[in-house]
Amino acid sequence: MRKDVRILLVGEPKVGKTSLIMSLVSEEFPDEVPLRAEEITIPADVTPERVPTHIVDYSEAEQSDEQLYQEISKANVICIVYSVNNKKSIEKVTSHWIPLINDRTDKDSRVPLILVGNKSDLVEHSSMETILPIMNQFQDIETCVECSAKNLKNISELFYYAQKAVLHPTGPLYCPEEKELKLSCIKALTRIFKITDLDNDGILNDNELNFFQRTCFNTPLAPQALEDVKNVVRRNMADGVKDNGLTLKGFLFLHTLFIQRGRHETTWTVLRRFGYDDDLELTQEYLFPMIKIPSDCTTELNHNAYLFLQSVFDKHDKDRDCALSPEEVKDLFKVFPYMPWGPDVNNTVCTNEKGWITYQGYLSQWTLTTYLDVQRSLEYLGYLGYSIVYEQESQAAAITVTRNKRIDLQKKQTQRSVFRCNVLGAPGSGKSGFLQAFLGRNLQRQKQIKENHKSYYAISTTYVYGQEKYLLLHEVMPDLDFLSEADLACDVVCLVYDVSDPRSFEYCAKVYKQYFIDSKTPCVVIAAKSDLHEVRQHYSLSPHDFCRKHKLHPPQSFTCNTTTAPNKDLYTRLTTMAMYPHARLRCMCSCNRCTYCLCQNLLKLELLRSVKAQLRRVVYNRHMAQADLKNSTFWLRASLGATVCAVLGFAMYRALLKQR
């Protein structure tokens, strides 16, 4: 909405332009009327629309044509004043003033015009019969008002309509010739309908209509008022109401009716509440709200944002198979001006056997967008109507800005949920296979991916000590001489080499020594294609000796050439290292022989789990049903003994670490 309104009054001499302005200001007819009134400003708190209004007079006797042209270019609305008892002044409206104004304004952004018939106190008849053909001929004319500066008739209404013509223009909404809504208006109202249709059944039921009413007008409709609205639609449209709910056609008909009855402000209130400007485009302030992101911090979606995205998924997953088919994805993004997800998304997140994006993959893609480009995530949430559905000030309320990573390192703990792993390696070393294996795709499935659908990202969830975390893998292009800050900024690094290529490891060694040898970022060497025959690497040190020299974990064997989905244990360990980068000597072997693995297996024992479950059950029964005290004491002792064993095991592990 405009911050102010500028009204210009033009017309033939002696028609009463100056008198109208002075009667409005002083609320009485002036005894002496000057040739021209000075520009006046009506404060915002006085006007009905709460917008400052500037009223400008024009006098042919005091102003030149050039000054008139300048005022026309600055005006938001122009009132062409004529005298109802002077036929010549009426004729001048079409022969002089409208052509003059049209010549001085752009065709695509014409200024709204209001015809003002002054001196209605001097005649008994109306001039509307003469004016109506003029209004039908020129689409820029918003309305016509007959008034009298002498007896103050319709003076305030005149300037109210002028203000309304600027703040609630008809032009962008409605085509008078066709007597129907314009295409851009239909498109905007259709998006609003789909956002308000919370269950996506194509009908606004009473709850959804009341949600819409509260959202736009801060008050619900009474049950009888709802029925009255639907009855109006029923009388005018056969398919406007279905199953006692309002269809899209009925919704559009109501707004057409509002506009035809001169209630443009109702439709404009709805459009502006959903983020639209005067050109029916979503405003930059709505799509891109301000959000401050300090350096070395990341952005994530918060709990409410995930709940909202879950509701959007459920709304469009019509067959309830926990995956979005191509048709369902298309339906979901109908509220967008363009399709935001390309075919590469299906190779970035988890899909089902049909290649459809699963629920987990859907949330993962949103997590990826928020992490890499928070502004784009805000834009997407704006299209979906997050701030409206969740009654938030803006989409920024959906974003969590994480703590600085340096503080996480100092405190040796983090509250982040998304961790980035950059994957580096020589061409053909198996980086892409490593990314796709994280999404559960073996080599056979990977061969079906088209080259132009390839993605350099892969994101999914892992579980670290029972906590769900997102691991984001990024395949970095193999340019040893130039790695940008983005290529180096991550939580963990994977250096991938091909065990069957004798020159593959050399790239990993050079990258590590050039960029990561003095870094606090954990690094892991991946021996990819381990199903192939391993050859000696053409480097001064073997991969194992290189890792031992630089105190890295031994190379981790990996292959995606399996009959089933590749194992994900390695990715869980990567996430663990990203979460706890200070734990440099954490075991990576899964050998089931070292102290760390034995302690982990102890914690995973079914016996210990059953003891914990029994303990919870006993404690619950003790409070709720007064269980037998002896039985409770037994299980408490058993649980205590198991806990002591676990603590002793960890103590032994720490002692062995110190010896190493």
- Among candidate residues 565, 569, 374, 576, the one with its CA nearest the CA of residue 469: 576
Q: Which CATH architecture has domain 285-402?
A: Orthogonal Bundle (1.10)
A 10 A CB-CB count for 276 gives 22
User: In a 10 Å sphere around its CB, with 0-12 CB exposed, 13-18 middle and 19+ buried, how is residue 281 labelled?
Assistant: middle
Give the three-class secondary structure for 116.
strand
Euclidean distance between CA atoms 569 and 479, whole angstroms: 29
CA distance 51 to 217: 19
Q: How many whole angstroms separate alpha carbon 484 and alpha carbon 250?
A: 55
Tokens 């002792």 correspond to 637
Quote the mean pLDDT of the chain: 88
Q: How far apart are CA 449 and CA 433, in angstroms?
A: 11
- Comparing CA positions, the residue from 459, 461, 462, 489 lying closest to residue 476 is 489
Is 477's pLDDT higher than 90? no
d(CA 383, CA 378): 9
Bridge-partner residues for 174, per DSSP?
Answer: 181
- Region 18-23: mean pLDDT is 93
User: Which SS3 state, helix, strand or coil, does residue 77 take?
Assistant: strand
What is the tens place of the pLDDT at every residue in 70-98? Answer: 999 999 999 999 999 999 999 999 999 99
Q: What is the spatial order of strands in the sheet that 556-557 belongs to?
A: 457-464, 467-475, 418-425, 492-498, 523-528, 556-557
**Per-domain residue ranges of the chain:** 5-167, 180-281, 285-402, 411-579
- pLDDT tens-digit series, residues 399-425: 999 999 888 888 888 899 999 999 999
Closest among 392, 369, 389 to 380, alpha carbons compared: 369
pLDDT in tens, 584-609: 544 555 444 444 454 555 555 555 56
Give the SS3 label for residue 371.
helix
Task: Tell me: pLDDT of 654 over 70.
Answer: no
Phi, psi dihedrals of residue 263, rounded to the nearest 5°: -105, 55
Q: Any idea of the CA torsion for 331, 335, 337, 341, to the nearest 10 degrees? A: -50
Whether the Cβ atoms of residue 418 and residue 300 lie closer than 8 Å to each other? yes
> What pLDDT, on a 0 to 100 scale, did the predictor assign at position 621?
59
Q: Which residues have CB under 8 Å from 593's CB, separation 6+?
A: none
In CATH terms, the fold of domain 180-281 is: Recoverin; domain 1 (1.10.238)
pLDDT tier, 658 (very low <50, low <70, confident <90, very high otherwise): low
Tell me the percentage of the chain whose pLDDT exceeds 70.
88
pLDDT value of position 585: 40
pLDDT at 595: 45
> What single string gives the DSSP state of each residue in 420-469?
EEEEEE-TTSSHHHHHHHHTT--HHHHTTS-GGG--SEEEEEEEETTEEE
Number of Cβ within 10 Å of residue 624's Cβ equals: 8
Strands (E), 27-100: 40-42, 53-57, 77-83
Say how far apart CA 602 and CA 609 lie, in whole Å: 10
pLDDT recorded at residue 593: 46
How far apart are alpha carbons 133 and 127 in whole angstroms? 11
Number of separate helices (H) and strands (E) present in the chain: 27, 21
Asked whether residue 493 carries a pLDDT value surpassing 70, the answer given is: yes
* Residue pair 97/26 in contact by the 8 Å Cβ criterion: no
Q: Which of 56, 55, 294, 78 is nearest to 165 (CA)?
A: 78
Task: Read off the pLDDT of each residue in 226-243 and give the average, rounded to a whole number.
Answer: 93
Confidence of residue 627 (pLDDT cuts 50, 70, 90): very low
The residues with which 597 forms a beta bridge, in sequence order, are: none
Neighbours of 552 (CB within 10 A): 20
Picking from 167-181, 536-550, 645-659, which range would have the lowest pLDDT averaged per residue? 645-659
pLDDT at position 612, please?
A: 59
Q: pLDDT at position 596, please? A: 47
- Specify the pTM: 0.81
Residue among 484, 476, 304, 326 at smallest CA distance from 399:
304
What is the reported pLDDT for 143? Answer: 87
Task: Quote the pLDDT of residue 626.
Answer: 47
Given this chain, do its domains 5-167 and 180-281 carry the same CATH topology? no
What architecture does CATH give domain 411-579? 3-Layer(aba) Sandwich (3.40)
DSSP-derived letter for residue 107 is G
Segment 353-395, tens digit of pLDDT: 999 999 999 999 999 999 999 999 999 999 999 999 999 999 9
5-167 — its CATH code?
A: 3.40.50.300
